[in-house]
Amino acid sequence: MGGYNSLTEQPTNFTSTTPAAPSGAVNVIPQAEAPTAPPTTVVRHFSAYMPPMTNTAGGAVPTPPNDASKCLDGTGHWSSKGGGGGGTPNISQYLSPSTITPPTLSSWAYHVNATFASNANGALVMTTHGSVNPEILGETIPVGSPALSNFDMIACFAANPPLVGSKLVTFGIEVWDSISGKIVSFQINMPSSSSPQVQVDHYPSFTGTPTVPFTLNIPIWSGPIFMRINRSGGNFTFYLSVDGQSWDQCFQESVTAYLPNTADTCGIGFYNNSSTPANVVIPHFSMVPY
């Protein structure tokens, strides 16, 4: 019969991934110093660590950069936020390619001092300050007869406004009829001293004072926001969305509630009455007749 000294210690596999971690968890990997032959007084140390997260697997969060303008993105890295902070927001990175149709608008319907250019991701960046009236990029609605004038207009926005003093930044989408010059605007107002509001405004002209048939306070958000005007039959319906897929209806009115003629022009509007330049980024704009 064998004695105590004949027993063989079962080895431990310190790098094993078996058994697998439960779904949604990761294996914690143990590690130990090499053993020393007995007799010994050397203490054998044992520790464990969690592998770092990757773009497809959970794990330890990477060391924070001590930068409030960064957030942990879907690839496991610290990246710039989509809005606020300063500089020009770059939100194309948060949208799937299937949701991005880079705006091709290039004609000013009304213009004072705004500029526009495309950023590295193809998104349109509008910059303006000290506006007296909205700066509007527009295009003709590609429709046939008034009876066939149904359409979906969708735009995605992120704004980086300098909310100082009693100043205001506004952005949104517009439709108007070129005969009367009257405009229906679906817009978000971001004042410095109160909550943002989403509004439908009726403008008698690009420089006229509007009436407001609909307004609603909304919470401050981060990241992109989608705005949509749908004409179907005899109605305009106004929607908001945070992902471009699920839509919340905000308001509906007859297409003749304000416009005396068929809406034949559409565009993007941006207003900033601060002397500090503000940017609005538009990674997506589409006008689809049906």
What ranges in the chain are assigned the alpha helix state H? none
- Please write the tens of the pLDDT for every residue from 88-132: 445 555 565 556 677 887 789 999 888 988 877 778 888 888 888
Q: Enter the tokens of residue 86.
A: 């300063």
Domains of the chain with CATH codes: 92-289 (2.60.120.200)
CB 263 within 8 A of CB 182: no
Confidence band for 84, pLDDT divided at 50, 70 and 90: very low
- Please write the tens of the pLDDT for every residue from 60-73: 777 777 765 567 76
**Beta strand extents in 167-257 (DSSP E only):** 168-176, 183-191, 197-203, 211-217, 225-232, 235-241, 248-254
Q: Is the pLDDT of residue 260 over 80?
A: yes
CB-based burial, 54-91: b 16+ in 10 Å, e otherwise = eeeeeeeeeeeeeeeeeeeeeebebebbbbbeeebbbb
- Over residues 149-158, the mean pLDDT reads 88
Q: What is the pLDDT of residue 86?
A: 38
- The alpha carbon dihedral of 204, 205, 210, 215 has a sign of positive
Phi and psi angles of residue 230, each rounded to the nearest 5 degrees, phi first: -115, 125
